[in-house]
Amino acid sequence: MNHYELPTSELLDSDRINLSVSAEEEEQKKKKVLKVLDAFAIQVNEVKSKVGPGTITYELGLPHGIDLQQARKYRRDIIWSIAERGVRLQIPIPGKVALGVKILRDERERLPFRKAVESSAFRETEAVLPIAIGMTNDNEMWVKDLAKCPHLLIAGEQSTGKHMLLKSIVLSLLYKKGPDELKFVFMTGADRYAEANRQIQECYWSKLPEVSEPIMPDDKTGMRTIYSLCEEMYRRSDLLRNSRSRQIVEHNQKVREKKLGNNYEVLPYIVVIIDELEDWMFRYPKFELSLSLLGTLSRAVGIHLVAATKRAGHDVISGMLKALFDARIAFSVPQEMNSRLVLDHPGAENLASYGDMLYCKSGKLERIQGFYIDEKELEKVASHIYRQGVPSPYLLPEPAIIEEEKAEEDDELFDY
Q: Binding site for ATP, residues?
A: 156-163
Q: Give binding residues as ranges.
A: 156-163
* Per-residue 3-state assignment (H helix, E strand, C coil) for the chain: CCCCCCCCHHHCCCCCCCCCCCHHHHHHHHHHHHHHHHHCCCCCCEEEEEECCCEEEEEEECCCCCCCHHHHHCHHHHHHHHCCCCCEEECCCCCCCEEEEEEECCCCCCCECHHHHCCHHHHCCCCCCEEEEEEECCCCEEEEECCCCCCEEEECCCCCCHHHHHHHHHHHHHCCCCCCCEEEEEECCHHHCCHHHHHHHHHCEEECCCCCCCCCCCHHHHHHHHHHHHHHHHHHHHHHHHCCCCCHHHHHHHHHCCCCCCCCCCCCEEEEEECCHHHHHHHCCCHHHHHHHHHHHCCCCCEEEEEEECCCCCCCCCHHHHHHCCEEEECCCCCHHHHHHHHCCCCHHHCCCCCEEEEEECCEEEEEEECECCHHHHHHHHHHHHCCCCCCCEECCCCCCCHHHHHHHHCCCCCC
